[in-house]
Structure 1
Amino acid sequence: MTELLKNFKIMMTGSTGGLGSVLVEELNKSGAFLFVDYRDHEKFERLKKGVKNPDLLQGFRADMTNEEEVIQYFKEFKEKYQRLDVFMHIMGGFWMGPEIAETPLEKWNFMINLNLNSAFLCTREAFKIMKVQCSGKIITVGSRAAEEFPSHKGAYAVSKAGVLALTQVLANEGKEYNMQVNAILPSTIDTPENRKSMPEADHSAWVSPKDISKLIIYLLRPESSALSQSFLKLYGKQ
């Protein structure tokens, strides 16, 4: 594993979140170099202190829903490291709302901006780099809700369905540039934040961040070179 990922240069969003922090730890163990975004400097410093190889983890403070900051994030990476092997859009958020008829436009726009617009801005910039170098992998995170469209999750489900549509377009457009583009579709992820918000749920049925990380790492390996345009479901026992 270490040899396979030792020279990988990876950009990733959502590094300090429940899934992202575990993924950073696993990728760091593998020897991959990570350039991640963060909003909270203290959280990033704690993350960096906790990894095995801190020199292989670099951060850049930016808001991934802000176009100028996203462009600067990718510019900073490209000027320092040139080649981009993998981009992972892990960040996102959830809002459990009422029915669509009672959904405020403000909350609707919040979900679209946080989940879909951020994915568009980031994958657009990653695609530009990979198109020139004629190689690269992009991984996004959708949701089970993006395929099943449950009640009271309308804004969230639509925003994540948009991420899946974007992923498919990127996969189609990336074919001629030797790019692989896939999405992970988890159900509820077993994170401290989710446990706190749903204390009475059956946590044993949820998907662990480590299991998701293992699948993502597999997508980086040579054995997965034929895999693209795929939506990989991780529903646990739900």
Structure 2
Amino acid sequence: MEDKVVLITGGAGGIGQETAQLFLDNGAKVVLVDINKDALERAKASLNAEPDRVVVIGADVTNEEDVKNYVKQTVDAFGKIDVFFNNAGINGPFAQIKDLEKEKFEQILNINVTGVFLGLKHVIKQMEVQGYGSIINTASNAAYIGSAGMAGYIASKHAVAGITKTAALETASSGIRINAVAPAAIDTQMLADIQNNITPGEPEASGEAIKQGIPIGRFGAPKEVAQVVLFLASEHASFVTGSLYNVDGGMQAD
């Protein structure tokens, strides 16, 4: 990854930060995008890298002008986009469909689906000019299953799986590869929020229940997702496109 330029949305989150650090450790330059500007600055300060190798951009991934801007700023800063980790997403409230507010459902779809779509739309245009690039979307094991109380999240991640495959087919002849990681039970703030949604005030209770459904028997670490993203971004995955890579401790196999 020496001198490669890596653009990461959801860059202030646990997986985003770990992925940024891993790419930096492998010689890349990194652009972090997130809606939370204060969290972005904290993320930048926490990274072990020369300041001129990290750029942070505040943006709403559901706003097309913001998306155009983060693509333009990345190219203005570093001249290209070699890798795009299309990672921003939210979980949303834990509620059955009959109780789920329409506005909450739409919010989840807007960030998790429209945000991914807009990122693909404008990064693909840049990569077509370059004649190459690798894009990794963040799906989930929720792309394969149903889960009571999580209709918005489940629907959104099924959509990410579908748009990943479609985008891969549309760009296969353009030197662009598009894949997705499908994490589950990764030890991040999002998982903590899910636990607290399931058992309010007692996240440990639902946490133990979740672990019982993981064949490996523990939560995953953000770096374990980052390592799969690094592989998919690299030339080691040069014949891989349109794929979803599970990072779930064996949950999907069970």
Mapped to 1, the partners of 2:32 and 2:97 lie a distance apart of 35
Contact 2:127 2:133 in 1 (8 A): yes
Distance 2:63 2:192 in 1: 30
* Distance of aligned partners of 1:172 and 1:193 in 2 relative to their CA distance in 1, 3 Å threshold: closer
Stretches of structure 2 lacking an aligned partner (at least 5 in a row): 197-202, 212-216
Specify the alignment match of 2:4 in structure 1: 8
Question: Following TM superposition, by how much is the alpha carbon of 1:237 offset from its aligned partner in structure 2, in angstroms?
Answer: 5.2
* Superposed CA offset, 1:79-126 (max 9, x none): 333321111111101024322232221111011001001001111100
* Contact 2:139 2:181 (C-alpha < 8 Å) held by counterparts: yes
CA contact (8 A) 1:19 1:209 kept: yes
Identity percentage over the alignment?
26
Tell me the distance in 2 between the aligned counterparts of 1:165 and 1:195. Answer: 27
Structure 2 match to 1:139 = 136
Match among 199, 204, 213 for residue 199 of structure 1: 204
Q: Quick one: which amino acid aligns to residue 204 of structure 2?
A: P
- Counterpart in 2 of 1:163? 160
Output the CA distance in 2 between the equivalents of 1:20 and 1:83.
Answer: 20
What is the Cα-based RMSD across aligned positions, in Å? 1.7
Cα deviation, residue 36, structure 1: 1.6
1:132-172 Cα shifts (integer Å, max 9, x gaps): 22110010011111211222111111011111111111100
- 2:14 maps to 1:18: yes
TM-score, normalised by the number of residues in structure 1: 0.92
Distance in 1, Cα, partners of 2:71 & 2:162: 23
Aligned residue in 2 for 1:64: 61
Kindly indicate whether the alpha-carbon contact (under 8 Å) linking 1:207 and 1:236 is maintained by their aligned counterparts in 2. yes
Give 2:237's aligned residue.
224
1:173 aligned to which of 162, 170, 194: 170
**How many residues align structurally?**
234
- Look up the match of 2:25: 29
Gaps of 5+ in 1: none
CA contact (8 A) 2:135 2:233 kept: no
**Do residues 212 (structure 1) and 225 (structure 2) align?**
yes
